[in-house]
Homo-oligomer: A and B are copies of this chain.
Amino acid sequence: MPDILHKVAIKASPIETYKALTTLDGLAGWWTNETTGDSATGGIIHFRFADRGFIDMKVLELDPGKRVLWEVVAGPDVWIGTKVSFDLAQDDDFTIILFKHQGWKEPSEFMHHCTTKWATFLMSLKASVETGTGAPFPNDVHISNKGD
């Protein structure tokens, strides 16, 4: 099965980076400003993108400063059951993130789109942690001709 894989370095400690992935405020700073729910292990985080859609993630694993694993429990049909993970490692002043969105059944055009869009959100995460200002929805970088 095809996977979406990314790698990005963030000039911050793993714990600072981890906060941006595991607190509602942190997530709202880079993915979507409409982030609610329960970000503890076993909880469900609700990501809302106004009339563009929604995603609910169940938090499967949290290892502070090291790893975050979510499962998509609501959202686009082809996302349901897929898993999103962030593995963090320190390299001097940086945190290296290995990102994976796995479980896609086929390499659809939508998967191509999601790969590129994840990259822009990971760059938003990097900016959010490094500078305090990311580009979360609705101020996200548009890559398509459909407003997303």
A residues lining the B interface (CB < 8 Å): 2-9, 11, 91-94, 96, 98-99, 107, 109, 111-113, 115-116, 119-120, 122-123, 126, 141, 143-146
State the majority secondary structure of interface residues on A: mixed
Q: How far is the CA of A11 from the CA of B145 in the complex (A)?
A: 8
Which of A7, A96, A99, A144: most chain B Cβ within 10 A? A7
Residues of B within 8 A of A8 (CB): 116, 143-144
Q: How far is the CA of A99 from the CA of B113 in the complex (A)?
A: 10
A98 CB, nearest partner CB in chain B, Å: 6
Q: B143 and A9: CB pair below 8 A?
A: yes
Q: A145 and B5: CB pair below 8 A?
A: no
A99 closest partner in B (C-beta): B112
Add 17 more A-B contacts to A7-B115, A11-B145, A93-B145 (CB < 8 A): A2-B3, A6-B112, A6-B116, A7-B112, A7-B113, A7-B143, A8-B116, A8-B144, A9-B143, A91-B145, A94-B145, A99-B112, A116-B119, A119-B119, A119-B120, A123-B143, A126-B143
